[in-house]
Structure 1
Amino acid sequence: MPEPTGVIHDIGYQRYTGPRLGRRPVFGALYLHGVRTAFGLGRSAKAKIFPWLVVGIVLMVAVAATAMRAQFGQVVMTYAQFADAMSWLVIFFVAVVAPELVSRDLRSGVLPLYFSRPLPRSDYPVAKLLALVTALWLLLGAPQLLMFLGAAFTLDGLGAVWDELLDLLPGLLYAGMWAVIFASVGLLIASLTGKRAFAAGGIVAVFLMTTPIVGTLSILPSQTANQLAGVASPPTLVQGVGIWTMRDLLITDPDGVAPDLGPYGPVYGLVAVALVAACVALLLARYRKVAAR
């Protein structure tokens, strides 16, 4: 009878005896990783180029506005106007960052690993969405805070600083509005494909190619169509909500031309809420379908 030739090798595998974290720490880790990914933190130098180039541009604009105010004593742009002025950069930031957050995971097939942990299917897209909202809000809000600090040192008295703070807070809220709507739309589009180039192109197309629709509606002979034209595109929708809720902070020039919303300001607000709700619902449905595969 031949002797056994098999050998058992002890390669050092041991059972995990440490604490087992639950849903909340996993969600927090996903969220924090998403925020870091948005700015290229913890990644290669190449991944940091675009996000920090955008950060550098918005900070330079904020520094320039602050310096001109200190030099000439006049407000070059309000905090809310700053968000509007940077909107075109936000579009391209979303087009690059949103695919990094979700398209890479779809393409590499790592989602089953995420869902094998104590993580409900809805937590993954919600964590990614909150991460993108946070990144966009920081992108627009941090320069506003820099503008506020620069202004605070040139003002006389705490009363003037308090008034300046009351101008800053609506600007930060307006930046949050930009962040929520752009992140919702951008992440939904990015979640539809694992190819980052296709996702980025789709995001840019939705944001930019809807603008001609607004232009067409605004020149129709119908006044109602003119006043509701802004709801056809996410950027003009956000601006419409801003004009409805904080017109004095966005239109500071009495002779400036502003979109005429007529009595439809609340409609812009309802459409914005409906758009975000629809995007979040479709995003959750998308990941329920992905998880079921």
Structure 2
Amino acid sequence: MSDAGVIHDIGYQRYEGPRLGRAAVLGALYQHGLRATFGLGRSAKSKIFPWGVAGIVLLVAVINAAVRSQTGTWLFDYYAFDDSMSWLVIFFVAIVAPELVSRDLRSGVLPLYFSRPLRAADYVIAKVAALVTAVWLLLGVPQLIMFLGGAFTSKTGMRGVWHEVGLLLPGWAYSVLWAFVFASISLLIASLTGKRAFAAGGIVAVFLMTAPVVGVLSVLPSRTANDLAGLASPMSLISGVEAWLRGRNDLGIDVGDFGVIYGIEAFCLITAGLLLLLARYRKVASL
């Protein structure tokens, strides 16, 4: 009996197609993440909650547009729409953010991701971009419906339409700000655990449990404490940024002379959340 080895030709061939590189991987990861936020490509059960929230938000926008067409006045404008819907968006990101990152941690696919030409920064960018886009769509599409309702019922022709565009664009920018706040905080929390239930509970807790702190600070006898109370909660923080940028003191929060402090904290909150998220995945990639 011979001990010599035998080589069998089983038809393997070299890959000769295009090698797309990191950009294609990042784009694919972003597209997959965006689809996952709305349960696309998943079971019907995965679609119930995100599309249920989207349906409620769209219904509110339709009702708002209908009221304006009949009475000529809004129930709430583009800014107030975001503020009013932010409570629903909290529960949206509490379900969606763990789907984007906690699932990967639990299933152990991250070493496979990072064995390819994909850096930790690419992974973070794709996930943040997917959630920011999803939240912006959740708020921006209803705002578009409100715009169409206002534009088609305008009594001043194109002048009224352009006026409505001038209201919509800042409203969309405000939605982007909300989207970055929600995404940076929720993804950071979700990245800390592979258990989606724990991640969802942590996200809701951070947003909701800070609200009573604002209430306590706002009733203190100190005027300065009252003006700075909104800094204690992400939701009141963004409302404070709106009050500062629009020069309004009738929005349910008074920032006094500290508006710039609200702007700085909002920037730092988003930046810190993204940097901590990056540090988290750089640590995971190095394991």
TM-score bucket of the superposed structures, by smaller chain: over 0.9
Counterpart code for 1:283: L
Name the CA distance, whole Å, in 2 between partners of 1:234 and 1:131. 21
Please show how residues 1-293 of structure 1 align to structure 2 within 5 Å.
2=1, 11-156=10-155, 157-247=157-247, 258-293=252-287
> How big is the shift at 1:7?
7.5
**CA 1:7–1:21: 2 relative to 1, 3 Å:** same
Counterpart code for 1:237: L
Name the CA distance, whole Å, in 2 between partners of 1:83 and 1:258. 14
> How big is the shift at 1:23?
1.2
Counterpart code for 2:284: V
**CA 1:12–1:53: 2 relative to 1, 3 Å:** farther
Secondary structure at the aligned position of 1:15 is classed as coil
**Structure 1 vs Structure 2 CA RMSD:** 1.7
Name the CA distance, whole Å, in 2 between partners of 1:276 and 1:174. 14
Name the CA distance, whole Å, in 2 between partners of 1:52 and 1:11. 48
Mapped contact 2:99–2:196 kept (Cα < 8 A)? yes
> How big is the shift at 1:13?
3.3
**CA 1:56–1:173: 2 relative to 1, 3 Å:** same
Mapped contact 2:114–2:285 kept (Cα < 8 A)? yes
Counterpart code for 2:62: V
Counterpart code for 2:43: S
Secondary structure at the aligned position of 1:86 is classed as helix
Name the CA distance, whole Å, in 2 between partners of 1:128 and 1:3. 57
TM-score normalised by L of structure 1: 0.93
Mapped contact 2:240–2:254 kept (Cα < 8 A)? no
What do residues 54-100 of structure 1 show as CA deviations (whole Å, max 9, x unaligned)?
11000000000111111122222111111111010110001000000
Mapped contact 2:239–2:253 kept (Cα < 8 A)? no
Counterpart code for 1:271: E
Name the CA distance, whole Å, in 2 between partners of 1:257 and 1:147. 20
Secondary structure at the aligned position of 2:120 is classed as coil
Q: Which moved more, 1:102-111 or 1:113-122?
A: 113-122
> How big is the shift at 1:150?
1.5
Mapped contact 2:54–2:138 kept (Cα < 8 A)? yes
Name the CA distance, whole Å, in 1 between partners of 2:203 and 2:210. 11
- Count of residues paired in the alignment: 286
Name the CA distance, whole Å, in 2 between partners of 1:123 and 1:189. 19
Name the CA distance, whole Å, in 1 between partners of 2:39 and 2:8. 42
> In percent, how many aligned pairs have the same letter?
65
Secondary structure at the aligned position of 1:279 is classed as helix
Name the CA distance, whole Å, in 2 between partners of 1:270 and 1:194. 32
> How big is the shift at 1:43?
1.3
**Which segments of 5 or more consecutive residues in structure 2 lack a partner in the other structure?**
none
TM-score normalised by L of structure 2: 0.95
**Which segments of 5 or more consecutive residues in structure 1 lack a partner in the other structure?**
none
Counterpart code for 2:239: Q
What do residues 178-199 of structure 1 show as CA deviations (whole Å, max 9, x unaligned)?
1011110000000000110000
